Amino acid sequence: MLHQYMGASTSKVSSLYVVRPATMADQAAIRRLLIYSWRTYLPCGAHWLEQRLAAGDCWVMVERGQEIVGLIAVLRRHPEVISIVAAAVCNGLPATQYARMVLSCAESHARRQHVHRLACLSGAVWLNEALDAHGFQTCEHVITYGWDAVPFSVAGNSTVVVERARQGDLRTVAAIDNQIFAPVWHKPYEEIEYVLGRSAYFVVAKHRDRIIGYCWSEWDGTHGHLTRLGVTTDWQGKGVGTRLLTEALSEMVQAGINWVTLNTQASNLRARRLYERYGFRSIGQPTPLLWKELG
């Protein structure tokens, strides 16, 4: 579907912009836009964008049928939520003008799929202002925690077994993730599968062969990022989260990591208490999660 917009005009020659679905053939032009624009949003890395392109969940804003001047990509995390996972606008084009077109397009896409909520977790001021002007509201903040690694012992529930996750565990991990995280934070199965192949550390906690928790993290040199930690509802408050956290941190220390970061929701008091108990301290500015109810 094409969305047309005559550039509102202070300029003498008004430009015709069109938003259309992106194709794999647009990849080089999209890369150029991402390199040269100072207003980009690509929090999860370029591979996400490629996946979104392949899935048909990416649109480009084109000027005069030629140059790509804007981009938006979305991910359906859950039947109820579509997240914006990439955005960019070329230098010189007002973000409000870009937003009016591409966000309308993303909204139409969501409505066609009967999804009633569009969300975006972004620390990009230009994007947040544009979202705000388009009716999005801040509904949560995400905090980043940092920890200067020090040697310590594994703690928590010692009756569970913590072992490397295997391909066959992933459907259960995805189901638990669905159960314990609000829709806006869901990781689709495909992403969890992608993570298994690439993360430095991915474990599950088992009780009598039943998976009751999981944890994965990414490492790069001396920096580790604990990406996900979860425990089934019926096992929460029994030391499994403590066990998974301390196992992960202790592996990182042994691997020579000296700085660990992680993110959590400001409202997630249980998780925050757990992290703070192990010496994590909040760093930087909280990142807002904005969303819009489409009605």
Ligand X SMILES: CC(C)(COP(=O)(O)OP(=O)(O)OC[C@H]1O[C@@H](n2cnc3c(N)ncnc32)[C@H](O)[C@@H]1OP(=O)(O)O)[C@@H](O)C(=O)NCCC(=O)NCCS
Centre a 10 Å sphere on the Cβ of residue 25 and count the other Cβ atoms it contains. 8
Question: Residue of minimal CB distance from ligand X?
Answer: 241
Dist CA 149 CA 223 (whole Å): 10
Both tokens assigned to 247 = 């196992």
Q: How far is the CB of 104 from ligand X (least distance, A)?
A: 33
Which residues make Cβ contacts (< 8 Å) with residue 92, sequence separation at least 6?
Answer: none
Q: Give the phi and the psi of residue 280 in degrees, each rounded to 5.
A: -70, 140
Q: How far is the CB of 275 from ligand X (least distance, A)?
A: 8
Stretch that binds ligand X, among 30-38, 105-113, 146-154, 235-243 (CB under 6 A): 235-243
Residues 173-232 that bind ligand X (CB under 6 A): 180-181, 229-231
Determine if 240 is a binding residue for ligand X (CB under 6 A).
yes
Of the residues 237, 255, 267, 293, which one makes contact with ligand X according to CB under 6 A: 237
**Residue span 124-163 as binding mask against ligand X, x where in contact by CB under 6 A, dash where not:** --------------------------------xx------
Determine if 242 is a binding residue for ligand X (CB under 6 A).
yes
Q: Cα–Cα distances in Å, from 207 out to 120, 181, 228, 237, 242?
A: 36, 21, 19, 15, 15
Closer CB to ligand X, 70 or 156, in the complex: 156
Q: How far is the CB of 215 from ligand X (least distance, A)?
A: 8
Closer CB to ligand X, 122 or 157, in the complex: 157
* 101 alpha carbon, distance to own chain's centre: 23
Strand, coil or helix: 64: coil
Instruction: With beta carbons less than 8 A apart as the criterion, state whether 149 and 279 touch.
Output: no
Dist CA 115 CA 153 (whole Å): 45
Residues 247-276 that bind ligand X (CB under 6 A): 264, 268, 270-271, 273-274
Number of residues counted as binding ligand X (CB under 6 A) = 20
**Residue span 30-69 as binding mask against ligand X, x where in contact by CB under 6 A, dash where not:** ----------------------------------------
Pick the closest to residue 78 from 227, 171, 182 (CA basis): 182
DSSP string of 67-87, one letter each residue: EEEEEEEEEEEETTEEEEEEE
Determine if 239 is a binding residue for ligand X (CB under 6 A).
yes
Q: How far is the CB of 200 from ligand X (least distance, A)?
A: 18
Residues lying near ligand X in the complex (CB under 6 A) are found at 156-157, 180-181, 229-231, 236-242, 264, 268, 270-271, 273-274
